[in-house]
Amino acid sequence: MKILKFGGTSVGSINSIQTLLDILKQEKGEKPVVVLSAMSGVTNLLIAMAEGAAKGNDFTAELAELERRHFEVVKSLLDIQNQNPAFTRLKIHFNQLEELLQGVLTLKELTPKTRDLVLSFGERCSTVMISKIAAQHFPEALFVDASELIKTDSTFGQAKVNMKLSEQLIRGFYAENKGKMLFVTGFIAGNDERQITTLGRGGSDYTAAIFGSALNANSIEIWTDVNGMMTADPRMVKKAFSLPELTYTEAMELSYFGAKVIYPPTMIPAFLKKIPIVIKNTFEPEFEGTVIQHVCKASNLPIKGISSIDGISILNLEGSGMVGKSGFSGRLFSLLAREQINIILITQSSSEHSITFAVQPADAERAKSFIEQEFELELLANKLEKPEIEQNLAVLAVVGENMKQTPGVSGKLFHALGRNGVNVRAIAQGSSEYNISVIISAHDLAKALNAVHDAFFIQLTKTLHAFCLGTGNIGKTLFKQLNAHTEFLQEHNGIQVKIAGISNTRKMVFDADGISLDTWEEELQASDEKADLKGFIAQMKNMNLPNCVFVDNTASPKPVEFYEEVFNSNISVVTCNKIGNSGLYSQYKAFKDAARSHGVDFFYETNVGAGLPIIRTLKDLMGSGDRVQRIEAILSGTISFIFNNFKGDANFHDVVKMAQEKGYTEPDPRDDLRGTDFMRKILILARDAGYKFEAADVEIESMLPKACLDAATVDDFYAALKAEDAFFADLKNKAEASGKVLRYIGKLENGKAAITLQMVDESHPFFTLSGSDNIISFTTDRYKERPLVVKGPGAGAEVTAAGVFADLINVGAN
């Protein structure tokens, strides 16, 4: 025989009740016992009505709504001739409820006893209604008021069940009604005086387990609105997935720490009788759901799930009075137990100097004042400090029996939290090692759950949330590349990049679920948020998303001012903007330090040679203990292009003009020819190679005669260049005569950096450089016979965007 329990949403609408009947029709063999919850939202509505009435608020509108919801179901699902008896039964209940609430309103008082009585109408109405509907298909259907069978003490709101007596009563009743199909009210019970009590919020699951235990059921099925017990609450973690199996202990731990899909006490009667609990989805009945049982198949997951309780408070007790005093915690916890204050979690430092425990916020003040009374003498003698309450916290717990034999579980947990800037206030690990719980700020909970989920369930894709600044050539191309590679990235790298924010100099737009890479331009255009860099950063911080990256695709100094703030918010930075790293050394150092101290990444591969692996190569050389002896490089695509075309009959003026026409130069070509941009790259390389250089430490030999440099306008510059034709022709001829070519080369050696115009012969690795390519050679302690050379296209939107893309993926991999 089976117990089938249907939760609030499963009885919450006409459609779901029809599905429920279909599920019952599939049942073969012995008639199941059906346990029902109140219709979804009804228990909350009853609480609101009762608490409102106690404050003098009118409840007629809510009562009418309650009637309407039940009557609507009766009208749709009962044949017309059967409707009247149902209306009459329900109406009696609603009249009783109205009288009761009227009493509360008059007295302006709501006792726990009355509250339970009010709440009982939720389950009583739904069960009466559904048993009548079911009777049309199952003539043996029988309504059962569980308050007659489940007997409890008088702890209203959370009554303690007398299992022995209840089981006897249930068995007796079942035997008397053999062959009947019982429809039992969940959640409610009764005390010795036949007063109604309740089993705690979510308690219908427990009702099912009590019946299951009494009747030695083969299984207890909990029908709800999700595909079983999942790795996390699917409302908080979109990537949560269903678990086929769990042990009672695992299910207990997960539900105790907030996985509301099953009420924790449910597991005990099932565990004692070894009755499997199966969690199924009413809205997807074919899905297997989750089986909770004694032994599970071996699983390779280090943890089974992550759950959380939002909105808790902690109390901190500190003082020398605790050290070595064996009775202290005994006194403390007996006191709290006596006052019925439920403790969610306890941690004690090994010095015994402090105890921290978590309670529901509603209990915090009470707990504090009880402690102050109990420990008055210790407080007076300064052996104990006044207890402190901290609010707005949450518990996050990772759970799984495999944790015991898997090293590194807590390392992974704390790494994910740390990297995302989630501060851990207290930690508790059950000695059973089935659970590690941390207390964090409630504000960080969603981020923490998702980050921890990503960290543990690596078979899923990891989501990066990117906030992108700049929609010029590089920004645009990056979005195009990301769009084209979405599937590949998920499949091969296990990474999904969501663009959570975009801004250019005019507008900005945000979407935590990811802005579409097909329509981002239209969305940005249509946004009514004006661009505001400060606001952009603030919004990025506020959204508090996990695995967050700030992508600066501008060439502006303004975003650079915010880098430190971004790092300090535990957000990684990826940028092609050279201004940050080529400013003052102190700034460069501050970025590095901030990123390191917050455990986030600062990737800027495209600062030098666009997408070519130059920065990364240098970093790997340095990181593996190698030291740079010499770096030689041509890192200006523009200048490469000019010298590669300045041969034979060509004159310098025409080649520069052509380079400009092809879009290879800055609007004023002198910005390239002066070597400033090249200098920045050499400076960044020198710094990454360990030198504390400022810009002035890089000597630049200008390749332009003074007249060209001094020209007032671009046109004047070209005129001056023309006038200097002979000078350039002379350089070229000299080079060609000796079988050499002209190259503008940056060099770092012996603590000196310089950029000079040189003539090199064919033995030099830079001799054959073609087009607008970049080249760099590293001579190091390890690569000293022949240098390590990186060469290839070092400019252009495609390769630069690809470099930014690669940096982004590297953040994802960390």
Which residues of this protein are in contact with ligand ADP, per CB under 6 A?
A: 7-10, 37, 202, 224-226, 229-230, 232-235, 254, 259-261, 305, 307
Instruction: Confirm or reject binding of residue 202 to Mg ion (CB under 5 A).
Output: yes
Which partner in ligand ASP, Mg ion, ligand ADP, none is near 637 (CB below 5 to 8 A by kind)?
Answer: none
Among 113, 171, 180, 201, indicate the residue that binds ligand ASP (CB under 6 A).
Answer: 201
Q: Half-sphere exposure of residue 355, counting CA atoms within 13 Å on the CB side? A: 21
186 binds Mg ion (CB under 5 A): no
Q: Kindly list the distances between the CA atom of residue 319 and the CA atoms of 323, 324, 385, 741, in Å, as whole numbers in the listed order.
A: 8, 11, 6, 79
307 interacts with, out of Mg ion, ligand ADP, ligand ASP, none, CB within 5 to 8 A per kind: ligand ADP
Return the bridge partners of 742, or none.
759
Task: For residue 737, give the 3-state DSSP assignment.
Answer: helix
Question: What does 686 interact with, of ligand ADP, ligand ASP, Mg ion, none (CB < 5 to 8 A by kind)?
Answer: none
Span of 202-210, 211-219, 404-412, 667-675 interacting with ligand ASP by CB under 6 A: 202-210
Strand 196-198 to 188-190 pairing: antiparallel
Binding residues with ligand ASP: total (CB under 6 A): 13
Q: Which of 12, 32, 122, 669 binds ligand ASP (CB under 6 A)?
A: 122
For residues 219 and 223, what is the distance between their CA atoms, to the nearest angstrom?
12
The least distance separating ligand ADP from the CB of residue 123, rounded to whole angstroms, comes to 12
CA distance 654 to 435: 73
Q: How far is the CB of 121 from Mg ion (least distance, A)?
A: 18
* Residue placing its CB nearer to ligand ADP in the complex, 240 or 698: 240
The CA distances from residue 372 to 338, 354, 355, in Å, are: 15, 16, 15
CA-to-CA separations, 672 to 315, 520, 654, 669, in angstroms, rounded: 63, 33, 16, 5
Looking at the Cβ atoms of 34 and 355, the one nearer to ligand ASP is: 34
Site for Mg ion (CB under 5 A): how many residues?
2
What distances in angstroms separate CA 392 from CA 17, 239, 547, 778, 802, one per listed residue? 38, 26, 23, 54, 43
CB of 157 to ligand ASP, least distance (A): 11
Comparison of 305 and 675: residue with beta carbon closer to ligand ADP: 305
Contact between 122 and Mg ion by CB under 5 A: the answer reads: no
Which CB atom, from 269 or from 501, has the smaller least distance to ligand ADP?
A: 269
Please say whether the beta carbons of 200 and 263 come within 8 A.
Answer: yes
Q: Which does 43 bind (CB under 5 to 8 A by kind): ligand ADP, Mg ion, ligand ASP, none?
A: ligand ASP
43 binds ligand ASP (CB under 6 A): yes
Helix (H) or strand (E) holding 15: helix 14-25
Q: Using the minimum distance from each CB to ligand ASP, give the nearer residue, 6 or 567.
A: 6
Residue 377, H or E segment: helix 376-380
Nearest-CB residue for ligand ADP? 7
Which partner, ligand ADP, Mg ion, ligand ASP, none, binds residue 201 by CB below 5 to 8 Å per kind? Answer: ligand ASP
Distance CA 283, CA 147 (A): 29
Of ligand ADP, Mg ion, ligand ASP, none, which one does residue 184 interact with (CB within 5 to 8 Å by kind)?
Answer: none
Q: Which residues contact 95 (CB under 8 A, 6 or more apart)?
A: none
User: Are 33 and 211 spatial neighbours (Cβ–Cβ below 8 Å)?
Assistant: yes
Tell me: does residue 37 bind ligand ASP (CB under 6 A).
Answer: yes
> Closest CB to ligand ADP among 149 and 259?
259
Chain-centroid distance of CA 734 in Å reads 64
Are residues 549 and 467 in contact, defined by beta-carbon separation less than 8 angstroms?
A: yes
Phi, psi torsion values for 478, nearest 5 degrees: -60, -45
Q: 272 by DSSP, 3-state: which?
A: helix
Closest Cα partner for 547 from 421, 411, 420? 420
Q: Determine the residue with CB nearest Mg ion.
A: 202
Pairing type for strands 462-469 and 548-552 reads parallel
The tokens of 699 are what? 């000597």
User: Kind of pairing, strands 548-552 and 572-575?
Assistant: parallel
325 is catalytic: no
CB closer to ligand ADP out of 307 and 638: 307
Q: Which of 4, 17, 35, 38 binds ligand ASP (CB under 6 A)?
A: 38
At 399, which helix (H) or strand (E)? strand 388-399
Nearer to ligand ASP, 199 or 684 (CB): 199
Of the listed pieces 87-95, 195-203, 228-236, 486-494, which binds ligand ASP according to CB under 6 A? 195-203
Q: Write down the catalytic residue from 5, 280, 578, 681.
A: 681
The residues that are catalytic are 681
Q: Which residues of the chain form contacts with ligand ASP (CB under 6 A)? A: 7-8, 37-38, 43, 122, 186-187, 201-205
Q: Which residues of the chain form contacts with Mg ion (CB under 5 A)? A: 7, 202
